[in-house]
Structure formats: structure tokens, C-alpha cells
Chains A and B, each alone.
Chain A
Amino acid sequence: MTLHLLASFAPPYWLSTVIKVLVISIVVPTTALILGMVFLFKVMSWMQSRLGPQEAGPRGTLQLLADGVKFLQKEDIAPNGADMFVFKAAPLVVLMSTLLLYVALPASAHLVVANLDVGIFYVLAVSSLSVLGVLMAGWASANKYSLMGGLRAAGQLIAYELPMVLAVLGVVIQAGTMSLNGIVFAQADGTIFGWSGIGNPYILTQFVGFVIFIAAVQAELTQPPFDMPVAESEIVSGYQVEYTGFRFLIFFLAEFATAFVFAGIASILFLGGWAVPWLETGSDWYYVLGPIVLFAKVMIVSFIIFWVRFTYPRFREDQLQSFAWKFLIPLALVNIVITAVLKVVF
């Protein structure tokens, strides 16, 4: 009954826009908080055989909220020689890129801000906008470590955008559509040699693509082992070095919210997204079940991302570049060729 009500809820344009804006502005900080709390504090400390934060809230689960409040209280400091407008705008550009990413993420067939026909292409395009913010931050801080960090970040993001696009291409070829919901449908309706028990999640056929995509996501997030741009032991946090208080908080928020949304995109592309195998994709149950299923899959993918983050040491700059250009990109191209040939043959 309730499901039926949810399915028949068709608000006017202005109301749906207001609802969408509210949902996004609540979802983005919440997801960043969840990832930070679960992985950065708890999983990381368990992996390193320590307890992690214990004081704030039950078993320290509210530590990140406390940290957030602490950041908000701090004085808003900018360096003397800084280009004030660009300095202040830079974190917002990074955050805007993150917010735009959430627009295309479907939590079920209808629970999506904008069901774009260009779907995954749009995601790749707006994710590249964060580089602008990073470069602005690096330059406007008037600090040579910042500038170096910004340049490293730009070089890295340009290099790893290519393997990411190429890894996605394999999925797009197989699904025959760029729409994110279309890719979910294609996986749900797919069969493995005629057996339709679990659909056809593309992680089985596109495993190489999945690995390349996760590696590229890691690099786009500038997380270890790809954290040359923020390498705190040599360029003292790179482009973030002059940022304190809530401006630093925005960078932090954007990084973790982007990690969440990219884990979401990965689960849509490779793990079947919001759909579960035993339920038709047209079912009204997905109004409730879709977000839960997607969230579960996001947590699994995030675990992989953060597992790598906490395990491996940092790449050197030349290793980082040659890993992208000489290993990931050729591998992704081979993957595309094989996928295209198999697509035509079958």
C-alpha cells in the first residue's frame, strides 16, 4: 500500500526540484561522514591493530562529527600573498564537481535526480572539473609547495582520467547504452550462457575493466598509494597546505563524498547497481530496496578502495605516471578490443 503510494507520487516540477536539492544536500555530507567514520577511523585502526577513536559517542562513532564542529569553530585564515577570490572559490569548485556527480547516480529506476541519456559520459565529464578547483587552490595559496601539489594533482588526474574512460568503454560496449539505468537494466536482463539466475553482473565479463576503474578512482581521489599531490612528508599536503577550518573541511567532505559516489558508479557499472537478481527491475519494491541494495554494494566497493589505501605505500611520481601510461592504458585498450570483438561475435 505504502509502496503503491510511493510509486504514484508525482509532484509538480517545483516541488520535485526542491525535494531533489534537499536530498542531495543531505546525502552528500552524510555519505562523506559514513565513509570517514566507518573506514578512515574504524576499519583503518582495526587493520593497524589499534582501537581508533573511543571517546565521542558509543565506541567513538561520533568522532568525525566532533571533528567537523571543531573545523567549523576555527578561524578563517588566508595567506598574505594569496589571491583572495580564487583562494576562497577553489574548495567550492571541488565541492561543486562532487555535487554534480550525485545528480546522475540512480538509487532505483525512478529515484534519480536526472535520468540522463548520456549518463556515464556526464559522470566522467563533471568529475574532471575538480582538477580546476585543485589547480586554483594550488596557485592561489601563493606557496611553492601548494603550487607543486596542484601541478602534481593536475598531471595525475589527467593521466588517470584516460584509463578510467577506457575502462568504462568496455561496459558501455557490452551494455549498448551510456545511461546508468540502462546499464543496470542490461545487467539485470543479461544471462550467463543462457542461465539467468543472477543476471549478468559485468564484473564477471569486465573484471579487467573493474580493476582498472578502481585503480583510476583511487588516483582521481588522490588517496594513497596515489597521493603524490598531497604527500605530507615532502610537500606538506600540497594544495591543501594553506587551508584551515571550514575550507579544509570542504576539501575533506568533497574527497569522501566523491569516494562514495565513485564507489556507487562502480557498483552500477560492474555489480548490477540497485537491482537484485530475484526481483524484476520494474517492481515497486525498489523504491525502498533500491537505495539499500546500492548502499550495500557501495560499502563493499568502498572497502576495497580503502583497503588498498591503508595497505600500500606511496608511488613515486615517475612510477605513478608510467603505471598509468605504460600499463593501465594499454591494458584498457586490449580490454576494449577483446570486448568489441566478442560483442560482434556473440
Chain B
Amino acid sequence: MLALLVAQNIAFYVIAALIVFGALRVVTCKNLVHAALWLVLVLAGVAAQYILVAAEFVAITQILVYLGAIVVLFLFGIMLTRAKTGTDTDLDHGSGKKIISGVIGLLLLGIMGYALWDEYRGQEIGNLTVQRTAAVSDSIFSTYLLPFEVISVLLLAALIGAIVLARRD
């Protein structure tokens, strides 16, 4: 058990380092398509972290939704509009904007990091057992039914809103 936990911790830090590196490249690289591809690394890393904590269903959902759909949609949009190869100079902003976005990023990191640390401080993950899909669906459709439905309606509203905004006629 202990050996497994050690291996898990090592894997966690390796994947976390990859995610952070990928995330930095997303905002610093000079080509929009490359940025989207670095985002693939970040999102795949998150899926890998879910697998490390034995949340199989969540990890697969992450792959299906984020890699298979959202990044593909990003790439699709980028390639339909501006798909230059090589560096793209329009992507650079002035130093003022860079500082502002940097500060906002750090603030977000601080708030979310503190919230997570405050909530789970001192807690340890005990024996990990692979999460059964049936258990996930049971809890979604009984305990968390109301939040689930509310989120569904919210997404539907966003979808309709996007169509209304995009329609010209």
C-alpha cells in the first residue's frame, strides 16, 4: 500500500509539472494553433490526475468533453478564421495588458488555492478503490438530482443564448 502511495505521489508531481509547463506555454507561445495544442496537454494532464485518484468515470468524461469536443471546436474555429503557420505577431499585447492579466491570474490562483487548502487541510486520502460507474450515476440521479438538472437547464440557456447572438436575421 505504501509503495503504491509513493508511486502515486511521484506520478502526481510529474503530471502536475507537465500541466503547469503546458499552461504557461498556452499563454506564452506565439501561434494560436500551438496554444490550442498545448491546451490539449493541460487537459489531458487533468484527466491523468483524475485517474490517479481512481475517478475513472470523471477522467473519461474529461477526455470525451474537453479533448474530444472543446479543443476540437477551438481548433475548428481557429482554422476557419486565422490559421497561419509560423509566429503570429498580433498575439502580443503591450506590457500594461500583460501586467494586468498576470495580476488577475495570480489573484485567481491565490483565491482558488486558498479555498482548496482551507477546505481539505490535513485530510488524507485513504485506501483508493476504483469508483464504480453505477455508483456515480446513482448519486447523480438521486442525491444530486436537483443541481444536475439546474446545470442542464443553465447549459441549455447558454446554448440558446449563443444561437440568438449568432443569428443575423
User: Chain B: interface secondary structure?
Assistant: helix
Residues of B near A158 (CB, < 8 A) are 69, 72-73, 76
Interface-central residue, A125, A151, A155, A178, by most chain B CB under 10 Å: A125
Residues of A near B133 (CB, < 8 A) are 117-118, 121, 178
A106: CB under 8 A from chain B?
A: no
Residues of B near A136 (CB, < 8 A) are 37
Interface-central residue, B67, B73, B86, by most chain A CB under 10 Å: B67
A117 with B79: in contact, given A83-B85, A129-B63 (CB under 8 Å)?
Answer: no
A-B contacts, 30 listed (Cβ < 8 Å): A81-B85, A83-B31, A86-B33, A117-B133, A118-B57, A118-B60, A118-B133, A121-B133, A124-B64, A125-B68, A128-B68, A128-B69, A128-B72, A132-B67, A132-B72, A132-B75, A135-B76, A136-B37, A139-B83, A139-B85, A147-B79, A147-B83, A150-B79, A151-B80, A154-B72, A155-B76, A158-B72, A158-B73, A161-B68, A178-B133
B56 near A117 with CB under 8 A, answer yes
Residues of B near A122 (CB, < 8 A) are 60
A224 to B44, CA, bound (A): 32
| Distance of A329 from chain B, by nearest CB (Å) | 16
B98: CB under 8 A from chain A?
A: no
A161 to B161, CA, bound (A): 24
A151 to B76, CA, bound (A): 7
10 A-B pairs closest in CB distance: A128-B68, A125-B64, A125-B63, A83-B85, A135-B75, A125-B60, A131-B72, A118-B60, A122-B60, A154-B76
Residues of B near A118 (CB, < 8 A) are 56-57, 60, 133
A138: CB under 8 A from chain B?
A: yes
| Distance of A241 from chain B, by nearest CB (Å) | 16
Additional 8 contacts, C-beta under 8 A, given A125-B63, A135-B76: A117-B56, A117-B57, A118-B57, A124-B64, A128-B63, A129-B63, A155-B76, A158-B72
> B interface vs A, CB < 8 Å?
31, 33-34, 37, 40, 56-57, 60-61, 63-64, 67-69, 71-73, 75-76, 79-80, 83, 85-86, 130, 132-134
A158 to B37, CA, bound (A): 18
B79 near A121 with CB under 8 A, answer no
A203: CB under 8 A from chain B?
A: no
Q: For the side of the interface on A, what is the size category?
A: 20 to 34
| Distance of A143 from chain B, by nearest CB (Å) | 10
Counting residue pairs across A and B whose Cβ atoms lie within 8 Å, the total is 79
Residues of A near B75 (CB, < 8 A) are 132, 135, 139, 154
Residues of A near B60 (CB, < 8 A) are 118, 121-122, 125
A182 to B73, CA, bound (A): 33
| Distance of B57 from chain A, by nearest CB (Å) | 6
A128 to B70, CA, bound (A): 11
Residues of A near B37 (CB, < 8 A) are 86, 136
B71 nearest in chain A by CB position: A132
Residues of A near B67 (CB, < 8 A) are 128-129, 132
A117 to B76, CA, bound (A): 32
A82: CB under 8 A from chain B?
A: yes
